Amino acid sequence: MPLGRRVRQIADYWPAGLVAVGCGLAMLALGVHDPAPATTREVSIVARQYGFTPNRILVDAGDVVELRLASLDVVHGFFLEGHDIEAEIRPGKLGFRLRRPSTGEDFHDVEEVSFVARRPGKYRYRCSVTCGTLHPFMQGELVVRPNIPYRAGVVGTWGVALSALVLMIVHPRRGGGWAEIGGGTSKRIDLLAGSARFQRLVKSRWFQFALVVPNVVILLFFIVAGLLGSPIGNRNIIVTVVWILWWFLLITVLVPLGGRVWCLACPLPFFGEWFSRRRLVTVQPGADRSESLRSGSLNRTWPRRLSGMWVQGFLFLLMCTMSTILVTRPALTAAVLGAMLAVALVIHAVFRRRTFCRYLCPLNSWISLYSMAAMTEIRSRDPAVCASCEDHSCVLGTSAAWGCPWLVNPSKLSRNNYCGLCMECIKACPNDNLGLRARPFCSDTVIHRYDEAWMAFIMITLVIAYSITLLGPWATVKEWANVTEMGNWGGFAIHSVAVWFASLVAMPALWYAAALIGRALGGGGDVRPKEIFVRYSYALVPLGLAAWAAFSFPLIMVNFSHVTSSLSDPLGWGWDLFGTANAVWRPLWPDWIPYLQIPLLLLGLAAALSSGAAIARSLYSSRRAAIGSLLPHGVVCSAITLVLLRLYVG
Binding site for another protein (CB under 8 A): 46, 70-75, 90-94, 129-133, 135, 205-206, 209, 213-214, 216-217, 220-221, 224, 226-232, 234-236, 279-282, 329-331, 334, 484, 565-566, 569, 571-575, 581-582
Q: Which is nearer to another protein, 109 or 382 (CB)?
A: 109
Q: Which is nearer to another protein, 127 or 645 (CB)?
A: 127
Of the candidates 236, 240, 246, 247, the one whose C-alpha atom is nearest the C-alpha of residue 331 is 236
Cα torsion 470, 475, 480, 484: sign: positive
Report, in Å, the least distance between residue 616 CB and another protein.
51
Report, in Å, the least distance between residue 265 CB and another protein.
15
Report, in Å, the least distance between residue 216 CB and another protein.
7
- Cis peptide before 146, with omega less than 30 degrees from 0? yes
Q: Which is nearer to another protein, 404 or 581 (CB)?
A: 581
Q: Which is nearer to another protein, 237 or 608 (CB)?
A: 237
Q: Which is nearer to another protein, 212 or 547 (CB)?
A: 212
Report, in Å, the least distance between residue 288 CB and another protein.
16
Which conformational region is residue 579 in: left (phi greater than 0), alpha (psi within -120 to 50 degrees), or beta? Answer: left
Q: Which is nearer to another protein, 77 or 159 (CB)?
A: 77
Q: What is the pairing mode between strands 76-80 and 121-126?
A: antiparallel
Report, in Å, the least distance between residue 9 CB and another protein.
53
CA neighbours closer than 13 Å in the CB half-sphere of residue 265: 16
Q: Which is nearer to another protein, 61 or 232 (CB)?
A: 232
Report, in Å, the least distance between residue 593 CB and another protein.
25
Phi, psi of 146 (to 5 degrees): -70, 135
As a residue count, the chain comes to 650
Report, in Å, the least distance between residue 326 CB and another protein.
13
Report, in Å, the least distance between residue 107 CB and another protein.
10
Amino acid at position 511, single letter: W
Residue 646 CB neighbour total at 10 angstroms: 13
3-state secondary structure of 175: coil
CA distances for 434 relative to 66, 315, 440, 464, angstroms: 66, 33, 19, 39
Of the candidates 251, 120, 138, 221, the one whose C-alpha atom is nearest the C-alpha of residue 585 is 138
3-state secondary structure 362-408: HHHHHHHHHHHHCCEEEEECCHHHHHCCCCCHHHHECCCCECCCCCC
Report, in Å, the least distance between residue 555 CB and another protein.
19
Report, in Å, the least distance between residue 47 CB and another protein.
10
Q: Which is nearer to another protein, 15 or 226 (CB)?
A: 226
Report, in Å, the least distance between residue 338 CB and another protein.
12
| Beta bridge partner(s), residue 113 | 67
3-state secondary structure 444-509: CCCCCCHHHHHHHHHHHHHHHHHHHHCCCCCHHHHHHHCHHHHCCHHHHHHHHHHHHHHHHHHHHH
CA distance 392 to 421: 18
Q: Which is nearer to another protein, 131 or 499 (CB)?
A: 131
512: part of which helix (H) or strand (E)?
Answer: helix 507-521
CA distances for 105 relative to 84, 85, 97, angstroms: 12, 11, 12
| Beta bridge partner(s), residue 110 | 96
Q: Are 320 and 462 in contact (CB under 8 A)?
A: yes
Please classify residue 14 by burial: count the beta carbons closer than 10 Å to its beta carbon, then call 0-12 exposed, 13-18 middle and 19+ buried: exposed
Q: Which is nearer to another protein, 135 or 352 (CB)?
A: 135
Q: Are 361 and 309 in contact (CB under 8 A)?
A: no
Q: Which is nearer to another protein, 70 or 605 (CB)?
A: 70
Residue 162 CB neighbour total at 10 angstroms: 18
Q: Which is nearer to another protein, 129 or 543 (CB)?
A: 129
Report, in Å, the least distance between residue 49 CB and another protein.
8
Q: Are 207 and 201 in contact (CB under 8 A)?
A: yes
Q: Which is nearer to another protein, 228 or 635 (CB)?
A: 228
408 Cβ contact partners less than 8 Å away, ≥ 6 residues apart: 418, 419
Report, in Å, the least distance between residue 298 CB and another protein.
22
- Got the DSSP string for 560-586? HHHHHHHHHSTTSSS--SSS-TTPPP-
CA distance 564 to 23: 41
Report, in Å, the least distance between residue 562 CB and another protein.
9
Report, in Å, the least distance between residue 331 CB and another protein.
3
3-state secondary structure of 5: helix
Q: Which is nearer to another protein, 482 or 552 (CB)?
A: 482
Q: Which is nearer to another protein, 566 or 638 (CB)?
A: 566
